[in-house]
Structure 1
Amino acid sequence: MIDWTKISTVLLDMDGTLLDLHFDNYFWQEYVPDRYAEKHGISLARAKEELSPRFEQTYGKLQWYCLDFWARELDLDIMAMKHEVTHLISFRPYADAFLQNIKDHGKQVIMITNAHRDSLSLKLERLPMAHYFDKLISSHDYGYPKEDQSFWRALEDDIALDKEHALFIDDNIGILDSAKTYGIAELLAIRHPDSQKGPWETGSYNAVEDFRELFISS
């Protein structure tokens, strides 16, 4: 799938790419509405009706990924709630083995995630994986989400990115489109970001079914 002789840097998303998106989908689609309903004395269905447009208004913007923003907006202790369901945080199949494989073969490995730094820290506590990476970058560090071209310009300045010899893997088609516009050479989508749901539509992008497909042979 990839000509590894042409790749020096591997850029990896976290949620839905390395980690099972079930944690995040369950948290935002079920757990937060349930606690919001409890707080306001309304039904779960009513809570979802109220929250849906608020989520849609910020989707793809930095606020959508900002835990501080949602804690203020919803008057809920979002981080405490995340801690309550950390048992759902898990690697996607063979993701950690893939990380070890590309590290062993001398690739520069960079995590680029839209996740808030607090969310990133929580997941690193649950699944120690920082040692696989040369750098861990949250879009909040730059002030722009990956959907924005300004993110990619900041990234290139930050790590001296050679985009013509870079591979980027993400489960979000809009973000892959943004990376393509910026000129990242190799792009891959994820077929099953959420283990509890069916395959996602990946458009024109080749998609990873199993990370073992990408292992670099010795």
Structure 2
Amino acid sequence: MPPNWCFKMIKIVSFDMDGTLVTSRYVERVWLEGVPTLYAQRHGIGMEEARKLVYDEYMSVGTRDLRWYDLSHWLGRFDLDIPHADLLNMYRQDVELYPETEEVLALLSEDFDLVVASNGATEFVEFELDGLRHHFREILSVTSTFGKVKDYPETFLDLCRHLGAKPEEVIHIGDHRYFDYEVPKEAGLAALYLDRERMESGPHVVHDLREAAERVRGM
């Protein structure tokens, strides 16, 4: 991580979403409970068998494949006739912000443009962050907008071009060490790895969003 004085170049703070701004509870409920429940009902099998079949199908694709994030793909794959909105609304009560999220967004938005760059599909991003829109210049699904996962430096270069910014003017913060730290760094952005489990330390590691805000602001 560059020294703090380099952060004076930063104009835009980019955030991952799940595991960063909001907990993963909601997406886990949709994907690991909602979809298997509908599958069990549709195909007349038990819940445990449905969970295993659905999970095995997910894993056969993997997180570097766009299909992993595409709800339409999985509803079609499992022959589930339900509107997206109905499935997403089933677990609305499970959308959960981290305790410091709103405080940090309000603080950083005083000095920086804030954006979200998530692998999650647009319908998830817009649904989970609906109450936080006023803090952000833009909320983006990179898989939906650019047709790329955050597995490629080009994804972050697409993000910079989309925002009209140079890579050195953007810092990305997220909880996936590879997608949210190593890849954006390779693309020329500044980056912070959000390790909420406190397994790592170092100049590129923060353990909550308050610490990330302090680092970005050079405190």
TM, length-normalised to structure 1? 0.83
String of CA shifts for 1:147-189, please: whole Å, max 9, x gaps. 223322321221122222322111222312221221212x222
Map of 1:1-218 to 2, 5 A cutoff?
3=4, 4-58=7-61, 59-76=63-80, 77=82, 78-105=84-111, 107-125=112-130, 128-139=131-142, 140-176=144-180, 177-185=182-190, 187-192=191-196, 199=197, 206-213=204-211, 214-215=213-214, 216=217
Distance 1:158 1:80 in 2: 31
Deviation at residue 103 of structure 1 after TM alignment: 0.7
Given residue 208 of structure 2, which amino acid in structure 1 is its aligned partner?
D
String of CA shifts for 1:9-54, please: whole Å, max 9, x gaps. 2111111111111111232223322221222122222112212231
Distance 1:57 1:161, change over 3 A: farther
Deviation at residue 203 of structure 1 after TM alignment: 8.8
Distance 2:86 2:202 in 1: 39
Distance 1:137 1:212 in 2: 23
Other structure's SS at 1:129 match:
helix
For 1:195, the equivalent position in structure 2 comes to none
| Runs ≥4 residues deviating over 6 A | none
String of CA shifts for 1:111-131, please: whole Å, max 9, x gaps. 111222222222244xx1111
RMSD between aligned residues: 2.6
Distance 1:12 1:124 in 2: 12
Equivalences, count = 208
Distance 2:95 2:50 in 1: 25
Distance 1:24 1:207, change over 3 A: farther
Give 5+ residue unaligned stretches, structure 2.
Answer: none
Distance 1:71 1:181 in 2: 35
**Equivalent residues of 1:93, 1:211 under 8 A apart:** no
Distance 1:103 1:121, change over 3 A: same
Distance 2:126 2:55 in 1: 27
Identity of aligned residues (%): 23
TM, length-normalised to structure 2? 0.83
String of CA shifts for 1:90-142, please: whole Å, max 9, x gaps. 2111111111101112x1211111222222222244xx111111122211111
Distance 2:94 2:101 in 1: 16
